[in-house]
Amino acid sequence: MPSNNKNTDLIRTEALRLGFDFIGFAKAQALDEEARRLEQWLNLGHHGKMGYMANHFELRTDPTKLVPGAKTVIVLMHNYAPKETQQDPAAPKLARYAYGEDYHHVLKGKLKDLLRFIHENIGEVDGRCFVDSAPVMEREWAKRSGLGWAGKNTLLIRPGAGSYFFLAELILDLELSYDAAPVKDHCGTCRRCIEACPTEAISPQGYLLDASKCISYLTIELREEIPTEFKGKMENWAFGCDICQEVCPWNRFAKQHDEPAFAPHSDLLGMGEREWHEMTEEVFAKLFRKSAVKRAKFEGLKRNLAALSDGLSR
């Protein structure tokens, strides 16, 4: 046990040095209850056209299938709350997480550095890095490692810090010291996120998201035409959506990130409504060369912008 504590402290200190804000440790084991809930969610069709959500079910619910002999899931939180937001209130909006460089690449680099540190300072450890691109139920592991609770909007909320955080994971075959019991749910009777969601993607009771109605899904995951029923409800979001986070009282505690890679392109925040709608493919490539917005591609962003205009004309 003393060596477990020592190794845990070493990893925690290095993770914080690399720029992560919070870190939690959970015992790697099958997520039986969560697996049942995921199956119910899939059966309801709430994943929409995201067929990949039904793939690799066993891998998604059991980390020992991803890393044979896995003993620990390390969950890391990285702040992305920006210093400034878009200036023109009439301009189409981006979710804050997409302002800077693609977080997948930035955080994967930090995780690889952390894994290298573990190899150099603890020894040969088998492990894998995950950043929202593999079958890992990251919010469930964040809850288990005591980093926060899943709010009524289904996002992880950290007490005293809010929800503007990326999640990343290391799954290792190294035994470490595990964190205390999960954080208590502090949503209480608040219903702000439920009432603010313009597409009614969050169930009336909360804690359940119909992703096929979520503006983030409609503007990023959906490759087809945005259904007519949603075109008047997009609230000017062209890529992603922050509404349920903007209204969450816990985000009054959000602090600005200090990660240079997440700083927006110098031209982005000042773009006006007309500039967005007249954007050329050349401007798109310049603005979003390293951004997660590239995932939508130029044609996808133009589709989203056209849906916003169509919604306004109804």
Q: Nearest-CA neighbor of 199 among 166, 172, 226, 169?
A: 226
Which 3 state secondary structure label does DSSP give 39? helix
Written as one string, the DSSP assignment of 119-160 is HHHT----EEEESSSSS--HHHHHHHTTS-EE-TTSSEEBTT
- In the set 21, 32, 102, 132, the catalytic residue is 132
How far is it, in rounded angstroms, from Cα 122 to Cα 29? 23
Please state, in angstroms and as integers, the Cα–Cα distance from residue 73 to each residue in 174, 180, 257, following that order: 9, 14, 25
Q: Is 62 a catalytic residue?
A: no
How far is it, in rounded angstroms, from Cα 298 to Cα 281? 6
How far is it, in rounded angstroms, from Cα 231 to Cα 124? 53
Which residue bears the tokens 């010291």?
A: 177
Q: Nearest-CA neighbor of 282 among 298, 271, 302?
A: 298
Looking at the annotation, which residues are catalytic?
132
